[in-house]
């Protein structure tokens, strides 16, 4: 079934109380992190904790994603081997390249066969957070059929580009557009980078709105307090839903009259506008608004 991924909530994999509550916070997806939120001395214990959480915690409707360490570190393959065997919904590959995605996918082929899991059932998210990754988003997306989405990691990306990260986010305009376009071309989710200042509500709403306007389909969160705000921005408004419904009604009438193009409220309506209305209604349905 099609699922919404408006919010993907990150939580450190070494925090038992956060893991325990992961399913009741209302995020569409949770990302149990073994990478940058976990210090080097805690890598092994976090891996065990996350494995046990996947086996025992009720995540309700939230999709369960685990961010492993980069394959080039001493932890990456061990993370994949231990976590793959408890069958999370998906693995997130940080600092992703085509070679990483292929390698993770092949390793998962083996694990799925050994464990008797359906082939291809463990999905992938690629984290784009290097200049190389950004230049190669489309070929990274093509590297495995397991990929269901891409996340833009602006902290690492701007560090790699040697530029400043700002509240306004002008510096990631190109990255957002590029990732969103490639994801649309491959029909996978385009998830925006998290907003780090949990007190700056005005800046946060602008940031979500800007990313959405460029085609991002959801946003990573770092704190449960951010979830409702993101869902609010991604929800179609009542006026948008009503307009979309009227477009569909008017289309029915136009069809009966044999017209491909017609006017509504003095504005031309043709195929792309009908497609947009269908998308609005589909999103509204998935969000339980109609």
Ligand X SMILES: CC(=O)SCCNC(=O)CCNC(=O)[C@H](O)C(C)(C)COP(=O)(O)OP(=O)(O)OC[C@H]1O[C@@H](n2cnc3c(N)ncnc32)[C@H](O)[C@@H]1OP(=O)(O)O
Ligand Y SMILES: O=C([O-])CC(=O)C(=O)O
First to last CA, the chain: 18
Minimum CB separation of residue 196 from ligand X in Å reads 8
150 φ/ψ angles, rounded to the nearest 5 degrees: -135, 140
Q: How far is the CB of 65 from ligand Y (least distance, A)?
A: 11
Applying CB under 5 A, the site for Mg ion has a residue count of: 3
**CB 36, min distance to ligand X, A:** 4
Q: Outline where the chain has alpha helix (H).
A: 16-21, 43-56, 76-84, 98-115, 131-135, 137-141, 154-161, 173-186, 201-213, 227-234, 238-256, 271-286
156 binds Mg ion (CB under 5 A): yes
Find which of ligand Y, Mg ion, ligand X, none residue 151 binds, CB within 5 to 8 Å per kind.
ligand Y
Specify the stretch interacting with ligand Y by CB under 6 A; choose among 54-62, 138-146, 147-155, 255-263: 147-155
Residue 146 annotated as part of some ligand binding site: no
Q: Is 88 in the site for ligand Y (CB under 6 A)?
A: no
Distance CA 252, CA 142 (A): 38
Least Å from the CB of residue 60 to ligand X:
14
Rounded Cα gap, residues 133 and 126, in angstroms: 9
- Angstrom distance (rounded) from CA 244 to CA 87: 39
Question: What whole-number distance in Å separates Cα of residue 99 and Cα of residue 84?
Answer: 19
Which residues, listed in sequence order, are joined to residue 71 by a DSSP beta bridge? Answer: none
180 binds, among Mg ion, ligand Y, ligand X, none (CB under 5 to 8 A by kind): none
Q: Between residues 97 and 193, which has the closer beta carbon with respect to ligand Y?
A: 193
Among 84, 153, 169, 236, binds Mg ion (CB under 5 A): 153
Distance of closest approach, residue 14 Cβ to ligand Y, in angstroms? 16
Please check whether residue 227 is in contact with residue 11, taking contact to mean a CB–CB distance below 8 angstroms: no
Residue closer to ligand X, measured from CB, 230 or 284: 230
Asked if residue 67 belongs to a known ligand binding site, the reply is yes
Q: Are 234 and 6 spatial neighbours (Cβ–Cβ below 8 Å)? A: yes
Task: Find how far residue 275's CA is from the centre of its chain.
Answer: 23
**Please, which of residues 185-214 interact with ligand Y by CB under 6 A?**
193-194
- Of the candidates 154, 182, 189, 190, which one interacts with ligand Y according to CB under 6 A? 154
Name the binder of 133 from ligand X, Mg ion, ligand Y, none, CB < 5-8 A by kind: none
Tell me: is residue 156 an annotated ligand-binding position: yes
DSSP, residue by residue, 38-58: S-GGGHHHHHHHHHHHHHH--
**Using CB under 6 A, which residues numbered 108 to 137 contact ligand Y?**
127, 129
Q: Binding site for substrate: which residues?
A: 67, 129
- Binding-site residues, in ranges, read 67, 129, 156
Give the footprint of ligand Y on this chain (CB under 6 A).
Answer: 36, 127, 129, 151, 153-156, 193-194, 220
């Amino acid at each position: 079934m099609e699922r919404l991924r408006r919010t993907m909530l990150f939580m450190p994999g070494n925090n038992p109380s956060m893991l325990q509550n992961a399913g009741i916070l209302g995020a569409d997806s949770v990302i149990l992190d073994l990478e940058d939120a976990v210090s080097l001395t805690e890598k092994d214990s976090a891996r065990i904790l996350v494995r046990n959480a996947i086996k025992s915690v009720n995540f309700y409707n939230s999709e369960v994603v685990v961010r492993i360490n980069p394959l080039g570190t001493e932890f990456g393959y061990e993370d994949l081997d231990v976590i793959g065997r408890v069958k999370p919904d998906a693995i997130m590959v940080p600092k992703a390249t085509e070679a990483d995605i292929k390698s993770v996918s092949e390793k998962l082929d083996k694990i799925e066969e050994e464990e008797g899991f359906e082939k291809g059932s463990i999905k992938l998210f690629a984290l784009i957070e290097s200049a190389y990754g950004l230049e190669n988003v489309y070929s990274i997306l093509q590297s495995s059929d397991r990929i269901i989405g891409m996340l833009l990691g602006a902290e690492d990306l701007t560090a790699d580009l040697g530029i400043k990260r700002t509240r306004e986010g002008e510096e990631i305009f190109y990255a957002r557009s590029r990732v969103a376009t490639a994801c649309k071309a491959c029909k996978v989710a385009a998830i925006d980078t998290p907003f780090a200042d949990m007190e700056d509500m005005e800046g946060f709403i602008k940031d979500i709105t800007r990313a959405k306007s460029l085609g991002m389909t959801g946003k990573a969160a770092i704190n449960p307090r951010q979830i409702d705000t993101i869902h609010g921005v991604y929800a179609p408004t009542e006026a948008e839903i009503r307009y979309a419904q009227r477009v569909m009604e008017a289309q029915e009438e136009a069809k009966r009259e044999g017209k491909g193009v017609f006017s509504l409220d003095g504005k031309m309506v043709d195929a792309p506008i009908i497609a947009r209305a269908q998308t609005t209604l589909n999103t509204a349905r998935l969000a339980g608004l109609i």
